[in-house]
Amino acid sequence: MEKLMIAGGHRLSGTVQVSGAKNSAVALIPAAILADSTVTIDHLPNISDVGILRDLLEEIGGQAELNGNTLTVNPQDMIAMPLPNGKVKKLRASYYLMGAMLGRFKKAVIGLPGGCNLGPRPIDQHIKGFEALGAKVTNEQGAIYLRADELKGARIYLDVVSVGATINIMLAAVRAKGRTVIENAAKEPEIIDVATLLSSMGAKIKGAGTDVIRIDGVDELSGCYHSIIPDRIEAGTYMIMAAAMGDEVVIDNVISQHLESLIAKLREMGVKVETNEDQVYIRSPREGWTSVDLKTLVYPGFPTDLQQPFTSLLTNAEGSSIVTDTIYGARFKHIDELRRMGANVKVEGRSAIINGAVKLQGAKVRATDLRAGAALVVAGLMAEGVTEISGLEHIDRGYERLVEKLNNLGARVWREKLDQEELKEVESS
């Protein structure tokens, strides 16, 4: 097991390349189950979630070859192998195996998913959707059993706007008989990316990216080639790092329209942000940023996945900021760790109140989830002295070549093995 070491205070400059989107990748890979021939997915991020999903496709009998950033999946020999335990528990997106296997085999057994612990993360809307399509769904000892004689298109109103439920219902509905309409659907760019892949396979989907998606089921879906969209959350994280420590930083391979809410907030703080077709340019005023209040919302609102790293930036803004997470009201595990670094932040209900103008100090901290990790990396870059971040396995779920990308920008970051005492601490926690 390793930890991330950051010698803080180094200015950043240059260009950083954004990888393919994690939250697309983790849906596109299960979607390949639905095809009857080879699916090639290009520009996948080299992160642990992708490796685990590849392994899961092999567990159900597929051939899934990862060459650099390209995954080739031959789904022909796949079977409806039950996956009640094991790797499915290591990530959130294993829930997409439910929709994809239900679509192809009309049955699936999938253990309840893992992923970031952000407080309760129910999947009732996924299940409501599968049931509306005609599946019988039961929860037996922590695994979801799904079975349908036939899937039939239906009108499904989501009570909660959910990315996962929207995609999962799409995955099953492309192979249902007749028309499915998802109302109050989520509109995130990753949903459009998944709909694009499914359409290339022959699915009939209209309205992805709006809150009403219409799907006309088809009898078969073929193989295809798909190139994934850039990761707006990784891009946003580097934008926040650049705002914190950047002289002049170019973030390359970005769709800036995906990040309008972040760009608006950075500008409100006094950070210079310019955009062109596929780049964002950031110049930070170095210090004296204005504090801002912020609420996370469903897309195109401010993404909850950037709330944690943005909070770190606000610790050094002039004045107080209030950050409210309306999506995951308990997504504040990073705050205790930021306090160890000297931050003056308190949590009240769904909000963090940040008293800014604090110079953070390097400390030993723990990433409890993926974006808490990103928040601590931002803090470590800003801090005086060395920051040691354990829980690196969370960060590895979502950031490809983080150390290399940061060092290319002028940061001083490296990985080190945990010593015996630290290993004991991890084991007992």
Ligand X SMILES: CC(=O)N[C@H]1[C@@H](OP(=O)(O)OP(=O)(O)OC[C@H]2O[C@@H](n3ccc(=O)[nH]c3=O)[C@H](O)[C@@H]2O)O[C@H](CO)[C@@H](O)[C@@H]1O
Ligand Y SMILES: C=C(OP(=O)(O)O)C(=O)O
Q: Which of 116, 165, 198, 221 is catalytic?
A: 116
Q: Tell me the site size for ligand X, rule CB under 6 A.
A: 21
Q: Does 304 bind ligand X (CB under 6 A)?
A: yes
Tell me if 126 contacts ligand X by CB under 6 A.
yes
Among 10, 107, 121, 177, binds ligand X (CB under 6 A): 121
125 binds ligand X (CB under 6 A): yes
Footprint (CB under 6 A) of ligand Y, residues 337-376: 370-371
Name which position in 92, 104, 126, 232 contacts ligand Y (CB under 6 A): 92
Instruction: Give the shortest CB-154-to-ligand Y separation in angstroms.
Output: 26
* 397 carries a ligand binding annotation: no
Q: x-or-dash pattern for ligand X, window 56-95, by CB under 6 A?
A: ------------------------------------xx--
Convert the chain into a string of H (helix), E (strand) and C (coil).
CEEEEEECCCCEEEEEECCECHHHHHHHHHHHHHCCCCEEEECCCCCHHHHHHHHHHHHCCCEEEEECCEEEEECCCCCCCCECCHHHHHCHHHHHHHHHHHHHHCEEEEECCCCCCCCCCCCHHHHHHHHHCCCEEEEECCEEEEECCCCECCEEECCCCCHHHHHHHHHHHCCCECEEEEECCCCCHHHHHHHHHHHHCCCEEECECECEEEEECCCCCCCEEEECCECHHHHHHHHHHHHHHEEEEEEECCCHHHHHHHHHHHHHCCCEEEEECCEEEEECCCCCCECCCEEECCCCCECHHHHHHHHHHHCCCECEEEEEECCCCCCCHHHHHHHHCCCEEEEECCEEEEECCCCCECCEEECCCHHHHHHHHHHHHHCECEEEEECHHHHCCCCCCHHHHHHHCCCEEEEEECCHHHHHHHHHC
Is residue 62 a contact point for ligand Y (CB under 6 A)? Answer: no
Q: Is 88 in the site for ligand Y (CB under 6 A)?
A: no
224 labelled catalytic: no
- Residue whose CB is less far from ligand X, 21 or 249: 21
Q: Least Å distance between CB 176 and ligand X? A: 19
In the complex, the residues that contact ligand Y under the rule CB under 6 A are 22-23, 91-93, 115-116, 305, 370-371, 398
In the complex, the residues that contact ligand X under the rule CB under 6 A are 23, 26, 92-93, 120-126, 160, 162-165, 186, 304-305, 327-328
Active site members: 116
